[in-house]
Amino acid sequence: MALVPAGTVRFHVQQLPATAPADGPDPSERPVVVFLHGLVVDNLSSFYCPLAVPVARAGHEVVTYDLRGHGRTERPATGYDSRTAVRDLFALLGALGLGHRPVHLVGNSYGGTLALHAALARPDLVAGLTLLEPPLSGAWVDNMVDTLSAAALSLEDSPVPAELLTLRLRKAANLTAIADALLNRTTLIDDIAASRTFTPADYAALRCPVLIVCGEHSELVPGALELARHAPHVTAVEILPGLGHDVLKENSGALRAAVLAHLDAAATAAAAPARASTASARSSAASDRSSPSTVRARAGALVR
């Protein structure tokens, strides 16, 4: 793990090299898989065992990091809007020497929202999306602002972090202190309240393959289905039975299988046009033209 300066913030980053067998696909031909976690009490550790390690073992280079203000990343007072988060993401990739590589973004909860913003802002670099319980509607913004505001009031001048330390519950104390700092000493709540919600035109503009995973009982399912109706390359909407907004924690086996299959299919689709173009160029030395490759997945949504 390392603290990496990018822009004005130092980000806590964990990179995992691809560890596929030597006879497998060259990881450099695949997009780098970048994980984006959720709000306030979430951090890169949420992904490590359930998804990040299995994805690396399947032959994909992996980057996980704590978002601005979260986990061990520095916590400036401002800059918690989605536009700044997208700038942070690509500045960090540049600082890691990965600014030229296509990326596949895996976003959990609010991280899914940020992943979608990033795909719309940089379609030239975002080669695929995996969205786990992504909050997409204006109703979610209103509910989240109410929830965060109530939490901020309960944490202000609260003795809970000190009491947790007394009980030797260091991790819980640390998460509570981070939540208090984010909610009461940054612009996070105001920035979330000012968030721009997505439109059908935004979804229609997506040009990369998308997998959406939601819990059966999640209030976010309607928004996921709305995205699937309008986005041209949604390969599947996976509905995991018996779950709510906790698919990352509660059904890692089914989630892992779905994510790995999607990454493999998206990487294959991305590599095929490039290989065909290379083969054509080698067989025709007289030709100096090349066609840009476009990542295409099966259009439409398959709800399982």
Contact 155, 180 (CB under 8 A): yes
Q: How many Å is the maximal CA-CA distance in the chain?
A: 75
Instruction: Please tell me the distance from the alpha carbon of residue 62 to that of residue 84, in angstroms, as a whole number.
Output: 22
Burial of 137 (0-12, 13-18, 19+ CB in 10 A): middle
The candidate with the shortest Cα–Cα distance to 206, out of 117, 102, 91, 85, is: 117
Cβ atoms within 10 A of the Cβ of 153, count? 11
Would you write out the chain's pLDDT as a tens digit for each of its 304 residues?
689 999 999 999 999 999 866 666 778 889 999 999 999 989 999 999 999 999 999 999 999 999 999 999 999 999 999 999 999 999 999 999 999 999 999 999 999 999 999 999 999 999 999 999 999 887 888 999 999 999 898 877 666 555 544 555 567 677 888 899 999 999 999 999 998 889 999 999 999 999 999 999 999 999 999 999 999 999 999 999 999 988 998 877 889 999 999 998 887 776 665 554 444 444 444 444 333 222 223 333 344 4
Burial of 100 (0-12, 13-18, 19+ CB in 10 A): exposed
